[in-house]
Each structure stands twice: as structure tokens, then as C-alpha cells.
Copies of this chain bind each other. A is one copy, B any other.
Amino acid sequence: MTTYNPVTETFLAQLRDIVGVDGVSTAESERNLHAADMSSHPPHLCDAVVWPTTGAQVAAVLRLANAHGVPVTPWGVGSSLEGNPIPLYGGISLSTERMQGIVAVHADDFQVTVQPGIGYKDLNKKLAAYGLFFPPDPGANATIGGMLANNASGIRTVKYGASKDNVLRMEVALADGRLIHVGSRSIKQSSGYDLLHLFIGSEGTLGVITEATLKLTPIPALMSAVVASFVDVETAVTAVVAIKGTGLDLAALDFIDGSTAAMLTQENGVDIPAQPTLLMEFHATHAETIELGLEMVREICVEMGATRIQATADPTERQRIWHARHQTYETKLRLNPGISWMPMDVAVPITAYPALVVFAEQEMAAKGVSGFLIGHAGDGNMHFTLAYQDKESHERAKEVNTAVIRRAVDLGGTATGEHGVGIGKAPLMPYEHGLALDVMRQIKQTLDPNSILNPGKIFPKL
């Protein structure tokens, strides 16, 4: 295993030379604020928090850290769910908090160039004036840098793609202090190796994203929502396949299980039967198109045996449904004091969804683990969220998670659809990727030979 050097007074002085006296802190309060994310992975303290303000400063910090063998873990806002920004080996927590600038709005090109520290919700508020938005929506106000580093996505990915599909160009600081530009502002690019996508989703282990030009989408003129309940998951998935097969351009296609539907009905102002339920959304430029789409979806759902269908083009009603859906996790937390929750993030081809749900339920029953299921059914992403309350039940939940991940991989899927590998899924990487993991290691070794960038993530310990 790589060994690292401690952060010395000399090193701190050199850091201050780069980012200014205010740009470095070793205060315990600050180090505590950068020790954990939203996952259940235990916190770990860095030795110093550093707040650069420019790409050049980030590059200089990396060059220095590389020369001194000090690890660097990038930090957005700590909203990730797999321990991705926890500074496992101490060293520097490199915060992008002071890099929240909008560098340029290219409204007529449907693009914006930003620094990595801006929250995507904050960005979208500002872009509303241009009638544009950045579509990936992981929920929490994640930073753009964090979203790109994890290839985050959300409920509307089924239409607009994941983070990786909405970026054109990035500035990236490498471990040795080089500052490079990858991609271009052209939508079509066929020019050499796709380094853009190599850095996206690399969770800060290959470089630090210091600027990004994002692809924007016009804010839809009209939206509608459909809530359809089914007797079982299998029937619901048959409806998903049929709806996708029409060519109707779904903007969201989420799934909740019966217990979640019941909870949201009781607590969050919606009225959904306690059955497996699809939540759908459509975007269009004309009311007639919305109506025709709703009718088509209604027909399919009836044909597939839906027990109840609610459709609405009313914005308030639609927002109520999605607000309730987004409150699922918080509501669970509130109703179950003392319980912690571990979200799965497996994703499979859509036809494998029912088999995976059945398998997960069997594993949970066998291990005595309870949980609830929400997921982005439209793209096969499944978030069983497992309850635990102590070390022992946490271990059982982890066992279930591991078994379900292996099953998802067997079904042609992946360990993680949108949360990234981080700490928790690293041990499963050999199972998912086989020999390709060696290639990932070779690339890591090539670009970060001293392994200073976010060590302990993605790769299992050798």
C-alpha cells in the first residue's frame, strides 16, 4: 500500500503561498465539516482544508501535494452517498466552495461555463432567466463538480441523460500540476481520445475538475404527470416496456413500492394506493400533445392491468406528486427515529427489474433486513433502501447489498447507476469489471503514479 507523508508546517506555509492565508485551515471545526458525506461510511479527518479559487491554484496545490506525497481529496458539498469525498488517508480536503462562479452564459448556444463549486439548483435558478436549465437532478443541491465527478443523475435522466451526457468541455487539474482542457464547446466531437468522459465519473481519482461547460435544455413549456398503480412489479415493468415502445418521450419514470406509496399517502398529501406504482412525467410544447400522450399512457396502463390511474396536467398537482416522491427518504427518517438507512444503487436492463426485486426481497427476508424500494424504473435503476440500527444489523444490510449487487451484475447490470463506487462498492469492482479493472488501474497509475488523488476510492485494497 502507498504510504503518505504528514502535513508539515513548511507544507502549510507553501499552501498559503498558493491560496492565501485565508485559503487554508487546520481548525478542528473545519476538518470536522469535511470528514463525512451523507452515507453511512464513518467519518475521517483530513489534516487541512484548502479553498482554492481558480483552476491554476488547484493545479498548484496538486503539484505541491504530489511533490510532498500528501493525499488530496476533492470536496463539493458532501451530498454524495458512497463516502466519495471522505479523506480516508487524511492530507488535504480540497474544497471547491469558493469556486462558485458562472464564467459565461452562452444562451444561444444552450451552454453555460461554470466553476465546479456551484450547486446545480443554484445554477438552475440563475439560468431560469434565460429559459434554460441543466437537466440532471440528483435531488440534494449537489455541486456541479461533484455531479461530474460521480456522474450523478436523477429522475429525469430517462429523457435528458446523466451528468456525462450534459457536459461538453472541462478544465482538469492533474496530479502533477498540469492544467488541461478536454472536449470542446462543439456538440459533436470526434477528435482524439474522449478524455472528457474518462474524467467524468472518476470520482476525483484521476484529476480535479476546475471548470465545466454544460449543455443546457430549454425549460419545457408544459409538463404532465401520471401515477399508475399495479398489482405487482412484473406488471408495472411490462407497462414501462410498452410505454417506452410507443416512442413517447418520457421525462421521468419512477417506481415506488406499496409501503412507500402508503407512507406518502399518509404523510405527504398524495393519494396513492398501497401498491407498486409508477410515477411518470411528460414534457411538451403544446397542450394537445400532452393530452394525446396522457391518453396513450392511460390506455397502455389499463391494458396492462393497472388498478388505478391518475393523470394531471395541472402544475400544482404535478409538483405535489414529485415533492412527495422527493420527501420519501426524509419522511422515512422522521417516522423511524433511531433507524439508519443504506441506499442500494444497482441498475439492470429493464426486463431484469422484476427478477432483481424478487431476489432482493428474498435476501432481505433471509437476512431479517427491512427496507423500502424506490427507483428510476425507466432506466432500470433500483434503490432498495435498507434499515439498520446497530453494527450487527448494519453488517446484515451490507450482506444483502453485496448479494444484490452481484445478482445485478449477473443480470447484465452494474453495482452503481448514479452514486458512484466510493468506498462501499470498491470491493465489488473485480466482480463487475474483471480484467477491465486492471486497465483502470493502469490508467490510474499513469496519471497519478503517487496515488495522491482521493486514495481508497473505486479500487479495492490490493
Bits for A295-306, please: 1 = Cβ < 8 Å to B, else 0. Answer: 010000000000
Query: In whole angstroms, how far apart are the Cα atoms of A178 and B165 in the complex?
Result: 29
Given the known inter-chain contacts A286-B289, A412-B186, please indicate yes or no for A351 contacting B109, CB distance below 8 A. yes
Residues of B within 8 A of A58 (CB): none
Given the known inter-chain contacts A218-B247, A351-B108, please indicate yes or no for A194 contacting B187, CB distance below 8 A. no
Q: Decide yes or no whether A95 CB sits under 8 A from chain B.
A: no
Selected from B285, B293, B412, B417, the residue in CB contact (under 8 A) with A296 is B285
Copies in the complex: 2
User: Are B198 and A350 in touch, CB under 8 angstroms?
Assistant: no
Q: In this complex, what residue of B is CB-closest to A220?
A: B247
Q: Decide yes or no whether A260 CB sits under 8 A from chain B.
A: no
Q: Decide yes or no whether A349 CB sits under 8 A from chain B.
A: yes
- Minimal beta-carbon separation of A68 from chain B (angstroms): 23
Q: Find the residue from A245, A438, A447 having the highest chain B CB count within 10 A.
A: A245
Among A27-35, A199-207, A393-401, the stretch that binds chain B is: A199-207
Residues of B within 8 A of A184 (CB): 409, 412-414, 432
Among A270-278, A322-330, A336-344, A419-427, the stretch that binds chain B is: A419-427
Query: In whole angstroms, how far apart are the Cα atoms of A445 and B217 in the complex?
Result: 38
Q: Decide yes or no whether A110 CB sits under 8 A from chain B.
A: yes
Given the known inter-chain contacts A247-B285, A442-B447, please indicate yes or no for A379 contacting B188, CB distance below 8 A. yes
Selected from B185, B220, B413, B437, the residue in CB contact (under 8 A) with A185 is B413
Selected from B186, B419, B433, the residue in CB contact (under 8 A) with A192 is B433
User: Are B351 and A186 in touch, CB under 8 angstroms?
Assistant: no
Q: In this complex, what residue of B is CB-closest to A419?
A: B190
Selected from B348, B351, B416, the residue in CB contact (under 8 A) with A190 is B416
Query: In whole angstroms, how far apart are the Cα atoms of A200 and B164 in the complex?
Result: 15
Bits for A110-147, please: 1 = Cβ < 8 Å to B, else 0. Answer: 11000000000000000000010000000000000000
Residues of B within 8 A of A194 (CB): 151, 164, 194, 197-198, 200-202
Q: Decide yes or no whether A283 CB sits under 8 A from chain B.
A: yes
Selected from B189, B345, B436, B445, the residue in CB contact (under 8 A) with A182 is B436
Query: In whole angstroms, how far apart are the Cα atoms of A419 and B174 in the complex?
Result: 29
Selected from B191, B437, B442, the residue in CB contact (under 8 A) with A416 is B191
Residues of B within 8 A of A150 (CB): 190
Selected from B180, B201, B444, the residue in CB contact (under 8 A) with A439 is B180
Q: Decide yes or no whether A5 CB sits under 8 A from chain B.
A: no
User: Are B289 and A417 in touch, CB under 8 angstroms?
Assistant: no
Residues of B within 8 A of A161 (CB): 165
Selected from B179, B185, B414, the residue in CB contact (under 8 A) with A349 is B185
- Known contacts A188-B417, A286-B292; 9 additional CB pairs below 8 A are A164-B194, A180-B434, A181-B433, A181-B436, A190-B421, A196-B197, A219-B247, A286-B289, A289-B289
- Between A and B, 11 residue pairs with Cβ closer than 8 Å are A110-B245, A150-B190, A187-B347, A188-B347, A189-B414, A191-B420, A191-B433, A193-B202, A197-B197, A439-B447, A442-B446
